[in-house]
Amino acid sequence: MSEKIQVSGGTALSEEDIRSGNIFVTEDSLDCAYAWDMGVAIKRYLAELKEGRIIATECRKCKRIMLPPRLFCELCFIPCNSWRYVKDTGTINTFSICHVHWDASRIKEGEDPHLPAVIEIDGASDGMGIMHILGEVEPEKIKIGMKVKAVWKPKAKRTGSITDIKYFKPL
């Protein structure tokens, strides 16, 4: 059994090599902003969040109450136009206790960890979860299956965004 594996290239550099200026680099960033067309479904979803309500759509064929709301049922492949309010309570399907920020930098000493979770919203079909964060809870006490409720921003501070819900806290 002869080793015939061929490997070539992949010259490792250190950060020092680059900082010293001996290895030439160019830097750039894509300074382009994006304005996403929300469309009918998400526009209404956000508008309702601003009012302190969560809205879903129902498929007339499979009867799934879908969250986030959509204008079509991706399984039946038909348009849907039945709006359904769902509750602002739900069940934790899964969660994490996260010690790094979105850019991979570690949270500082004393700073609270982020508590992302998938929350199955009451009133939507089984398993219809959304990603959000948890609050007013000791991280060690979070359990899968725990019931939670949305904590809304004060009405004046809501902007029509998913962050109009500050977080979900244990019921």
Cα separation, 148 vs 83, whole angstroms:
23
Report the nearest approach of other proteins to the CB of residue 112 (Å): 13
Report the nearest approach of other proteins to the CB of residue 47 (Å): 11
- Tell me which of 59, 90, 132, 146 binds other proteins, using CB under 8 A: 132
Q: Which of residues 82-111 bind other proteins (CB under 8 A)?
A: 93-105
Check binding of 27 to other proteins (CB under 8 A). yes
- Tell me which of 70, 150, 152, 168 binds other proteins, using CB under 8 A: 70
- Tell me which of 85, 87, 144, 169 binds other proteins, using CB under 8 A: 144
Cα separation, 120 vs 63, whole angstroms:
17
- Enter the tokens of residue 155: 């009405």
Other CB atoms within 10 Å distance of the CB of residue 120: 19
Report the nearest approach of other proteins to the CB of residue 22 (Å): 9
Check binding of 13 to other proteins (CB under 8 A). yes
Cα separation, 83 vs 70, whole angstroms:
10
Report the nearest approach of other proteins to the CB of residue 146 (Å): 12
Check binding of 138 to other proteins (CB under 8 A). no
Q: Which of 103/156 has CB closer to other proteins?
A: 103
- Tell me which of 51, 60, 62, 71 binds other proteins, using CB under 8 A: 71
CA 147, 114, 44: angle at the middle one, nearest 5?
Answer: 65
Cis peptide before 68 (omega within 30 of 0): yes
30: CB partners within 8 A, 6+ apart: none
Q: Which of 144/171 has CB closer to other proteins?
A: 144
User: Total residues contacting other proteins (rule CB under 8 A)?
Assistant: 82
38 - beta bridge partners? none
- Tell me which of 53, 118, 122, 153 binds other proteins, using CB under 8 A: 118
What is the SS3 string spanning 61-73? CCCCEECCCCCEE
